[in-house]
Amino acid sequence: MAKSASADSAHERTHPIVELRVQADAAQLSVLRAVAAAIALQHDFDLDTVEDIKLAIDEAATRLIMNSTDRSTLSCTFEVTVSRVNINLSAHTHTGTSSSQPRSFGWHVLNSLTDSVSVSSDTDASGATVSTIGLAISKGSAAR
């Protein structure tokens, strides 16, 4: 007897990932906040946590935009699990700039709104610097 599987069963084992790419420009922040809110609401995050997600996206994206190179693209991925959303934002940034300044007010805001924050820099195939900020926010985390 042959076994069969549908494409749907393969998708059931993975968490949905949404990727959004926008110009690294402050005018695009409202788009990022709106998409983040829509994703969080669709996955039953409470309204306080949705607001925390929007604020965290705004702060992280602003940090990357301020350090981005001309005509850079800001990439934002959202991975939603049963109880949390993992968000990664990345953009080409100027060499030597830092998106993580632990004593800044913005860094304090990110730490208070999220369960975890990570910052990394790497070089792509062309030798350009790519900075990434990772955020993890759990359902109901606004109650902390």
Q: Is the four-CA dihedral 50, 54, 55, 61 of positive or negative sign?
A: positive
> Digits of tens for pLDDT over the chain (144 positions)?
454 444 454 455 577 899 999 999 999 999 999 999 999 999 999 999 999 999 999 999 999 999 999 999 999 999 999 899 999 999 999 876 655 566 678 888 899 999 999 999 998 888 889 999 999 999 986 555
Q: By C-alpha distance, which of 101, 100, 110 is closest to 135?
A: 110
Q: At 140, which amino acid appears?
A: G
* CB 60 within 8 Å of CB 137: no
Model pLDDT, residue 123: 86
Dump pLDDT digits (tens) for 112-130: 999 999 999 998 888 889 9
pTM of this structure = 0.84
Longest Cα separation, the chain: 64
- Residues sharing a CB contact under 8 Å with residue 5, sequence separation 6 or more, in sequence order: none
Give the up-direction half-sphere exposure of residue 45: CA atoms within 13 A in the CB hemisphere: 27
Average pLDDT, the chain: 86
CA dist., res. 139 & res. 50, Å (int)? 9
CA dist., res. 13 & res. 100, Å (int)? 34
Model pLDDT, residue 4: 45
